[in-house]
Amino acid sequence: MTRQFVVFANPQTGREAHPYLICLQSDMAQTSGSMVVAPLTPAHTLVNASTRLFPELFFMNERYRVLIPQLAAVPTRVLRDPVGDLNGYRNELLAAIDLLFTGI
Protein backbone atom coordinates (compact mmCIF):
# COMPACT_ATOMS: atom_id res chain seq x y z
CA MET A 1 0.00 0.00 0.00
CA THR A 2 1.38 3.41 -0.96
CA ARG A 3 1.06 6.29 1.46
CA GLN A 4 -0.29 9.66 0.49
CA PHE A 5 2.40 12.26 -0.35
CA VAL A 6 5.06 9.66 -1.20
CA VAL A 7 7.22 10.68 -4.17
CA PHE A 8 8.38 8.44 -7.01
CA ALA A 9 10.83 9.01 -9.84
CA ASN A 10 8.82 9.52 -13.03
CA PRO A 11 9.31 6.33 -15.08
CA GLN A 12 7.45 7.63 -18.12
CA THR A 13 8.29 9.91 -21.01
CA GLY A 14 8.58 13.54 -20.06
CA ARG A 15 10.69 12.87 -17.01
CA GLU A 16 13.08 15.66 -18.02
CA ALA A 17 10.33 18.25 -17.47
CA HIS A 18 8.62 16.28 -14.69
CA PRO A 19 11.23 14.19 -12.88
CA TYR A 20 8.98 13.15 -9.98
CA LEU A 21 5.39 12.13 -9.29
CA ILE A 22 3.68 12.60 -5.93
CA CYS A 23 0.89 10.31 -4.75
CA LEU A 24 -2.11 12.44 -3.79
CA GLN A 25 -4.58 9.63 -3.28
CA SER A 26 -5.66 8.95 0.30
CA ASP A 27 -4.36 5.84 1.99
CA MET A 28 -8.00 5.03 2.74
CA ALA A 29 -8.98 5.08 -0.95
CA GLN A 30 -6.60 2.50 -2.33
CA THR A 31 -7.74 1.16 -5.67
CA SER A 32 -6.35 -1.83 -7.42
CA GLY A 33 -4.15 -1.09 -10.34
CA SER A 34 -3.92 2.72 -10.28
CA MET A 35 -2.95 5.70 -8.16
CA VAL A 36 -3.74 9.43 -8.47
CA VAL A 37 -0.54 11.44 -8.81
CA ALA A 38 0.63 14.89 -9.83
CA PRO A 39 3.95 15.70 -11.47
CA LEU A 40 6.65 17.87 -9.94
CA THR A 41 8.50 20.31 -12.18
CA PRO A 42 11.50 22.53 -11.42
CA ALA A 43 10.22 25.74 -9.80
CA HIS A 44 12.01 28.02 -12.27
CA THR A 45 9.70 26.82 -15.05
CA LEU A 46 6.62 28.35 -13.33
CA VAL A 47 7.85 31.65 -11.92
CA ASN A 48 4.57 33.54 -12.47
CA ALA A 49 2.16 30.73 -11.55
CA SER A 50 0.01 30.81 -8.44
CA THR A 51 1.80 29.22 -5.49
CA ARG A 52 -1.60 28.29 -4.10
CA LEU A 53 -2.58 26.18 -7.12
CA PHE A 54 1.00 25.13 -7.91
CA PRO A 55 2.58 24.66 -4.44
CA GLU A 56 6.30 25.25 -4.26
CA LEU A 57 8.33 22.83 -2.19
CA PHE A 58 11.91 21.83 -1.49
CA PHE A 59 12.82 18.27 -2.46
CA MET A 60 16.13 16.55 -3.21
CA ASN A 61 17.98 19.82 -2.60
CA GLU A 62 15.97 21.68 -5.26
CA ARG A 63 12.79 23.76 -5.49
CA TYR A 64 9.86 22.19 -7.34
CA ARG A 65 6.26 23.12 -8.11
CA VAL A 66 3.49 20.53 -7.96
CA LEU A 67 1.30 20.62 -11.07
CA ILE A 68 -2.01 20.04 -9.30
CA PRO A 69 -4.13 20.71 -12.46
CA GLN A 70 -2.32 17.80 -14.15
CA LEU A 71 -3.60 15.11 -11.81
CA ALA A 72 -3.61 11.69 -13.42
CA ALA A 73 -4.30 8.09 -12.54
CA VAL A 74 -1.26 6.00 -13.36
CA PRO A 75 -0.79 2.25 -13.14
CA THR A 76 0.75 1.29 -9.82
CA ARG A 77 3.05 -1.13 -11.62
CA VAL A 78 5.06 1.77 -13.10
CA LEU A 79 5.63 3.35 -9.69
CA ARG A 80 8.49 1.37 -8.29
CA ASP A 81 10.60 2.44 -5.33
CA PRO A 82 9.64 5.62 -3.48
CA VAL A 83 12.35 8.29 -3.38
CA GLY A 84 10.91 10.51 -0.65
CA ASP A 85 7.95 11.78 1.30
CA LEU A 86 6.44 15.27 1.21
CA ASN A 87 3.96 14.88 4.06
CA GLY A 88 5.43 18.06 5.54
CA TYR A 89 3.65 19.95 2.72
CA ARG A 90 0.29 18.33 3.44
CA ASN A 91 -1.56 21.60 4.13
CA GLU A 92 -0.30 23.28 0.95
CA LEU A 93 -1.09 20.23 -1.19
CA LEU A 94 -4.61 19.78 0.18
CA ALA A 95 -5.30 23.53 -0.21
CA ALA A 96 -4.27 23.30 -3.87
CA ILE A 97 -6.56 20.31 -4.44
CA ASP A 98 -9.42 22.19 -2.75
CA LEU A 99 -8.79 25.20 -4.99
CA LEU A 100 -8.79 23.02 -8.11
CA PHE A 101 -12.05 21.24 -7.30
CA THR A 102 -14.05 23.72 -5.24
CA GLY A 103 -12.54 27.10 -6.10
CA ILE A 104 -12.03 27.78 -2.40
Q: What are 22-51's pLDDT values in tens digits?
A: 999 987 777 778 999 999 999 999 989 999
In a 3-state reduction of DSSP, which class is residue 91? Answer: helix
DSSP type of residue 71: -
The CATH class of the 6-102 domain is: mainly beta
Spell out the domain ranges in the chain.
Answer: 6-102
Between CA 2 and CA 36 the distance in angstroms is 11
Q: Tell me what pLDDT residue 1 has.
A: 63
Give the H/E segment covering residue 98.
helix 90-102
Q: Tell me what pLDDT residue 11 has.
A: 87
pLDDT in tens, 2-26: 789 999 999 887 788 999 999 999 8
Q: Please, what is the average pLDDT of the chain? A: 93
Question: What would the DSSP string read from start to end of 6-30?
Answer: EEEE--STTTTT--EEEE-S-GGG-
Which residue, 28, 30, 59, 31, is CA-closest to 43?
59
Which is more confidently placed, 64 or 26?
64
